[in-house]
């Protein structure tokens, strides 16, 4: 390999990037736009659920139960109603997602020591939100039921009564349970995969369409020099996007970065190299920029977004799909980023993931070189 020929190819690609300011601006603006859209718009937090109250009992007991719902951060009491027709109309219009119905004689049943029964109507159109709302409601009623039971026992025993079991949860790594702390590190992986694959997927295909590939073939440049030279310019651009995405995640969205910066840089370096080589492989396989762009989008964005564990838990997917995710490099990089950002772990924990990313980068680099060599031959 000749460093002189490698430098000449790299210089050519750098000049091409600088001569196309719109593409350069798009490459630098894409992380900002995606971080803003996904970081603010995409959230898994479910709180302030709009709730309507249908209180048929209208006693202090029913009002106290209603206050348990309206006073929590999970429900927002938007209105009170007088019949089931209003409840149906509110849910149909989307004004509220849940309706708490307290029947007549609820307070009297509690004072007699009987079981008080209340009803919660939920809009199941969004099954995930409805399931979470049901869990919140179950927790509120269970806690209130325990307090009523304690009062009864105190009255019967004539002394205060403590529950024999108390749960004292302690949340590690994401103490506030904010979904942005989970989403933003994974979003960095998705952004890098898209930028790397899409930018380099057009390089060699562009040379064929512009008719300059024949000029390159007439030079003594070797396939490895061509691949590394073209990759180097976009590698610098990709690392700039990486730095921009990390800065936005830490200082704008407030995601904690507890891990080692050097380990983070090495991980991004390995992943970026593999993603860039994948784009060059696609570009060398087809001679059309449009087809290369489409293949780059299908093979980078969709797997990174859907099958990497970025948003959707892999363990909840069908078994065949879970098996397929093992060939998705973004799966390993998402795990690495989340562990470095939130847990602050080292190589002893994420070494296997980084090894898989390294293997992917080497295999794809060899495949890209062979494909370019075949085109030259």
Q: How far is CA 9 from CA 149, 215, 233, 234, 250, in A?
A: 78, 12, 9, 12, 35
Is residue 180 predicted with pLDDT exceeding 80?
A: yes
In order, the DSSP letters of 193-222 are HHHHHHHHTTHHHHHHHHT-HHHHHTS---
Q: What pLDDT sits at residue 360?
A: 93
Query: Which is more confidently placed, 199 or 74?
Result: 74
* Joined tokens for residue 70: 């309206």
Nearest one of 157, 155, 71, 62 to 110, comparing CA atoms: 62
Q: What pLDDT sits at residue 109?
A: 84
Which H or E element spans position 252?
Answer: none
Q: What pLDDT sits at residue 217?
A: 60
Nearest one of 80, 93, 72 to 54, comparing CA atoms: 80
As a whole number, the mean pLDDT across the chain is 83
Contact 191, 30 (CB under 8 A): yes
Q: Which ranges of the chain would DSSP assign to H, the alpha helix?
A: 3-18, 21-41, 60-70, 84-93, 106-111, 127-157, 179-200, 203-210, 213-217, 223-247, 261-285, 289-306, 319-324, 329-338, 347-376
| pLDDT tens by residue, 220-271 | 667 677 777 777 878 888 888 888 889 988 998 888 999 999 999 999 999 9
Nearest one of 287, 271, 266 to 197, comparing CA atoms: 271
Q: pLDDT band for position 119 (50/70/90)? A: very high
> Distance (Å, rounded) from C-alpha 79 to C-alpha 98?
11
| Percent of the chain whose predicted confidence (pLDDT) is above 70 | 89
Is residue 377 predicted with pLDDT exceeding 60?
A: no
| pLDDT tens by residue, 296-344 | 778 887 888 888 888 788 888 899 999 999 999 999 999 999 999 999 9
Q: Is 131 helix (H, G, I), strand (E, B) or coil?
A: helix
- Tell me the pairing of strands 119-122 and 98-102: antiparallel
Q: What pLDDT sits at residue 332?
A: 93
pTM: 0.79
Q: Which residues pair with 48 in a beta bridge?
A: none
């Amino acid at each position: 390999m000749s460093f002189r020929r490698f430098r000449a190819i790299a210089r050519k690609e750098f000049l091409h990037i600088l001569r196309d300011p719109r593409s350069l601006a798009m490459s630098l603006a894409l992380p900002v736009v995606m971080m803003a859209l996904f970081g603010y718009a995409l959230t898994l937090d479910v709180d302030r659920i709009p709730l309507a109250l249908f209180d048929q009992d209208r006693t202090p007991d029913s009002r106290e139960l209603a206050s348990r719902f309206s006073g929590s951060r999970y429900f927002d009491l938007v209105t009170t109603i007088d019949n089931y027709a209003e409840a149906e109309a509110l849910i149909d219009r989307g004004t509220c997602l849940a309706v708490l119905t307290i029947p007549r004689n609820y307070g009297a049943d509690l004072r007699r020591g009987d079981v008080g029964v209340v009803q919660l109507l939920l809009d199941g159109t969004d099954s995930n939100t409805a399931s979470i709302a049901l869990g919140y409601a179950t927790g509120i009623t269970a806690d209130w039921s325990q307090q009523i039971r304690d009062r009864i026992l105190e009255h019967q025993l004539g002394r205060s009564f403590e529950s024999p079991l108390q749960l004292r949860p302690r949340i590690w790594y994401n103490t506030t349970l904010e979904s942005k702390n989970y989403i933003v590190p994974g979003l960095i992986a998705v952004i890098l995969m898209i930028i790397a694959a899409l930018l380099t997927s057009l390089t060699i295909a562009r040379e064929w369409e512009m008719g300059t590939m024949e000029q390159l073939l007439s030079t003594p440049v070797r396939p490895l020099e061509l691949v590394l030279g073209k990759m180097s310019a976009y590698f610098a651009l990709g690392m700039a996007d990486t730095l921009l995405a990390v800065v936005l995640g830490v200082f704008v969205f407030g995601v904690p970065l507890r891990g080692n910066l050097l380990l983070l840089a090495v991980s991004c370096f390995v992943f970026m190299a593999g993603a860039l080589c994948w784009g060059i492989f696609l570009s060398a396989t087809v001679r059309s920029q449009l087809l290369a762009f489409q293949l780059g989008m299908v093979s980078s964005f969709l797997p990174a977004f859907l099958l990497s564990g970025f948003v959707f838990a892999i363990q909840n997917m069908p078994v065949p799909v879970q098996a397929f995710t093992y060939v998705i490099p973004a799966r390993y990089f998402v795990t690495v980023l989340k562990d470095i950002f939130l847990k602050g772990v080292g190589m002893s924990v994420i070494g296997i993931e980084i090894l898989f990313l390294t293997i992917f980068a080497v295999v794809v680099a060899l495949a890209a070189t062979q494909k370019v060599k075949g085109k030259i031959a």
